[in-house]
Amino acid sequence: MSPSPWLISVSSLALSIALAASAQAAELSPLNRDSGLPRAPEQEAVAFEHADLSFKVIPATRSLEGDARLTFKAKAPLTAVVLDLDRNYSVARVEVDGQAVPASAWSNPEGRMRIALPQPVAADGRVIVRVVYSGKPHVATRAPWDGGFVWAKAPTGEPWVASAVQGEGCDLLWPCIDHPQGEPALVDEHITVPAPLVAPGNGVAVGMDERDGWRTYHWRARDPDTYAITLNVGPYQAITGQYRSRYGNTVPLAFWHLKGNEDKAKGLFDEFSRMLEFFEAVIGPYPFGDEKMGVVETPHLGMEHQTINAYGNDYKKDKYGYDWLLQHEFSHEWFGNQLTNADWDDMWLHEGFGSYMQPLYLQFLRGQMDYHAALLDQRAALTNKVPIVLGRTRTEEAVYNREQGSGLDIYYKGSLMLHTLRGLIGDAAFFDSIRQLVYGTSTPRPGNFEPRYGTTREYIDIVNRLTGKDYGWFFDVYLYKAALPELIAERDATGLALRWKAPDDLPFPMPVQVRLGGNDGKVVDVPMRGGQGHVDLPAGTPYTLDPDSRLLREEPRFAAAQKDAAARKQAAEKKAK
């Protein structure tokens, strides 16, 4: 998902999320409204091998006709298949292994569809389920934060359609297992749209058929995130090219843009290779180089749809001189699509790492000033109300909700924590830990890794193993507690006494740097064993804590600025009334 500390105010974003959730509450069942609910036992008992999905998008009636053939391998004896599908769709036909089953064999009262099998499937056996359905898909009130379909018109008058279903889940589009671990190993998409509209899709193009005024585009993708399977329809034109990777392979590039945007689109397309160069140099090989790096212009802000990232930022450059939206969504090809969180409670692995990629990219492009300035923007947005990890299963809504959940802190607190970790353990261990998390190896090369699931606990174990130290204290405070640690400095008879005050008095032996004197003074390292340390400092000598801004810590100035901004906004709104 696509926040921006520079272009979208935190308060307006939170209000939009709340309004969107309340607006659709009456329309969607709880099962369809929440993504990432515990899987049914029958869903845990299968490996999802293949999804063959046919979609007919009918803009004139804002409706969808779907035909899904789903292949599962049983990991345990199976007597039923359970799918998630928006109950507002009408199901016309259900088949098991090519044979229609009676209506009495299946039900979908609350959006969790249960299909009784004609005969049990033994462990290691396979079953193919077909569901033919149709209806008016749920409409997004404010995509991408509110999931659903966007039915729009291009500036030239043609239909312009997009789906964005991260928050509410894949069941708003197709019968799926709406859980991060519900990824199908292979997906075929057949997208039928009115000619001459174009329908870019996930993965690689297999072909296009045109008949009776309709076009069907065929796409094939491997291991896509469930919410990354998407529909995009419009009067698109394509810019294509190639990127020659440092790893020896060639990555196809494609940008589908609206007619009339050719010049602006060419400028954005020119950024593709530079972004690929950054990620491959700093993180590792582009995970889907055998498919494509694809981007499509959309009537909503954006979303990390695998190999066909949604882009709706209107070609804006921010104050740092690059398109933050494109770069953020593209970062999710590594942190979200290659590495997928095993549970929504681990969503900071997507958003925290993805958000850190923006300052890191600016450091790569232009150096330290832009890097620290971008981190400062993120720091100003922290709320620190709810831990970014709770250590228990959560739904997408429970994580993103700003009042009861972690909200934007999974983005910015996650990013700033990674900046602090990098300073603590050093670049070599830090970037190696990312590669092991993302690829499962320190030496990734095209062909020697596959998409994988990751957890918070796994990342902590990776850091401990690489450093040979136990950094549980670090993650206990930053990930599992809401409040930030406070660094207390007090002068005494001989100098400066330092101590950490961590939430719940947890151990926090974070080393601290102190600059003695003015801007050109000596910088000393204070070990802080037991969370305490001391610096000899003559009376009257000025000092600066953490002069290189390595530490994420409680600083009252940020809360004061937020409080002042909120009060001024409230006063302005009252005056306007």
Can you say which residues are annotated as belonging to the binding site for Zn(2+)? 328, 332, 351
Is 278:364 a contact under the CB 8 Å cutoff?
yes
* Binding positions: 328, 332, 351
| Non-local CB neighbours of 311 within 8 Å, separated by 6+ positions | 268, 295, 296, 297, 298, 302, 325, 326, 329
| Non-local CB neighbours of 324 within 8 Å, separated by 6+ positions | 4, 6, 7, 313, 318, 358
| Non-local CB neighbours of 301 within 8 Å, separated by 6+ positions | 2, 143, 144, 312, 313, 325
Distance CA 470, CA 489 (A): 26
Which three-class secondary structure state does DSSP give residue 476? Answer: helix
| Non-local CB neighbours of 143 within 8 Å, separated by 6+ positions | 150, 162, 164, 299, 300, 301, 303
Distance CA 490, CA 502 (A): 17
**Catalytic residue ranges:** 329, 411
Half-sphere exposure of 469 (CA within 13 A, CB side): 9
Which three-class secondary structure state does DSSP give residue 253? Answer: strand
Distance CA 243, CA 240 (A): 10
**279's tokens:** 């990620």
Query: CA dist 549 to 156, 274, 416, Å?
Result: 49, 28, 10
Distance CA 125, CA 326 (A): 42
Q: How far is CA 197 from the centre of its chain?
A: 29
Query: CA dist 87 to 59, 147, 397, Å?
Result: 21, 16, 19
